[in-house]
Copies of this chain bind each other. A is one copy, B any other.
C-alpha cells in the first residue's frame, strides 16, 4: 500500500535514540524538508552525540534516556536491534500521550517480539519500520541528508496498531525523501533474509575463507574489480550484522539452506564436468539479474 500525502508533514519535537548513519541521516533529511521543529538525540556514545551537535544534525543532545523522550512527539529507535526492548521498557512510562514510537531495525519479527516481551503488550503507537538504505559505512560522521531519497521504507504494522500513528510514520519517511510501503512482519523478514542478510553472510564468509588460505597476501593482490564489488558489504559493521543474522535466525536459515542446496548441485556438476548444469544455473541467474536491474 502506498499512501499519498495531502499536506506537508511537520512534527514539533523528534527524539532519535542512537545517532549513527541512519539516525543522523534521518535528522538531516527531515531538517532539509523543514519537517521538524526540534531534534533531540540520545546515544550511549558521547562522542557520537558531540559530532551530531557539531555537525548541526540535531539541536539537543542527551545521555539520559528519559530526558531525551519526555517532550517528544515522535521517538525513533535507531539503536542496535538487541537493545530496543530494554529501551522501550525504560521510556514507555514517560512518553506524551499521543507520542508515536518507531524503529529502523533490519529485522522486524524480533523487534516486535522484544517490545511485546518488554512491556507485556504491543503499544498502539509503536510502528515497526525499516528503511532499506545504508552504506557499508557507519557512524553519524558518514550520515547525509539524501540517504533515503527514492529509497524504500518498509512499514510493518502489528495487529494492535493505531491507524493515525502508522500514517504519521509513512508521512515522516516520505518527508525524508523515501518511498514507503507496507508489508507483513514475517514476509519482511523473509524478503530481507534473501536480499540482505544472506548476501552479507556470504560476503563475510568468502573473505574469511580466502583470508585463511596460505597465499592470502597474493590472493588479495590479484583480485580484480569484480571481487572488490562482490566483497564490499563485508566491510560493514560485524557486530551489527552478527546481531541481525541471529535476530532473523529462522528466515535466514531457510534461505541459507536453499543456497547450500544450489552450491551442492554446482559442486557435483563441477565434479562431473557437467557444463550444462553449471551453465543453466549461471544463465538463469544472469537473466534474473539483468531483468531486475537495467544496468548498461
Question: Which residues of A come within 8 Å of B, CB atoms?
Answer: 132-136, 151-152, 154, 187, 190-192, 194-196, 198-213, 215-216, 218-239, 241-243, 245-246, 249, 252-253, 255-260, 262-263, 266-267, 270-271, 273, 275, 278-279, 281-290, 292-293, 295
B195 engages A227 (CB within 8 Å): yes
Q: Which residues of B contact A241 (CB under 8 A)?
A: 282
Contact of A288 among B207, B233, B278 (CB under 8 A): B207
Report whether A230 and B227 are in contact in the complex, using a CB–CB cutoff of 8 Å: no
Closest 10 CB pairs of A and B: A238-B282, A211-B288, A220-B292, A207-B285, A242-B279, A195-B223, A204-B285, A208-B285, A238-B283, A226-B233
CA distance A263 to B221 in the complex (A): 24
Task: Give A281 to B204 CA distance when docked, in angstroms.
Answer: 7
Nearest B residue to A287, CB-CB: B211
In the complex, which residues of chain B have a beta carbon less than 8 angstroms from the beta carbon of A152? 221-222
Complex Cα distance A266/B197, Å?
13
Is B288 touching A210 in the complex (CB atoms < 8 A)?
Answer: yes
Assess the B238–A285 pair: CB atoms within 8 A: yes
The one of B191, B201, B216 in contact with A222, judged by C-beta atoms closer than 8 angstroms, is B191
Q: How far is the CA of A287 from the CA of B204 in the complex (A)?
A: 10
A286: B residues at CB distance < 8 A: 204, 207, 234-238
Residues of B close to A196: CB separation below 8 A: 223-224, 226-227
User: In whole angstroms, how far apart are the Cα atoms of A199 and B202 in the complex?
Assistant: 10
Contact of A263 among B205, B207, B223, B232 (CB under 8 A): B205
Q: Complex Cα distance A169/B151, Å?
A: 49
Cross-chain contact A262 with B208 (CB below 8 angstroms): yes
With both chains docked as a complex, state the minimum distance between the C-beta of A220 and any C-beta of chain B, in angstroms: 4
A-B contact pairs, 24 of them (CB 8 A): A187-B215, A192-B222, A194-B219, A199-B226, A200-B226, A202-B202, A203-B285, A205-B263, A207-B286, A207-B288, A221-B292, A229-B232, A230-B233, A234-B282, A237-B286, A241-B282, A242-B275, A245-B270, A245-B278, A246-B278, A257-B267, A260-B263, A260-B267, A263-B263
Q: Give the docked Cα–Cα distance between A252 and B271 (Å).
A: 10
Q: Which residue of B229, B232, B267, B295 is within 8 Å of A253 (Cβ)?
A: B267
Chain B residues with CB below 8 A from A260, complex form: 260, 263, 267
Write out the residue numbers on chain B whose beta carbons fall within 8 Å of the beta carbon of A245: 270, 278
- The answer, among B134, B151, B190, for a CB contact under 8 Å with A215, is B190
A280 to B200, CA, bound (A): 14
Q: How far is the CA of A157 from the CA of B122 in the complex (A)?
A: 69
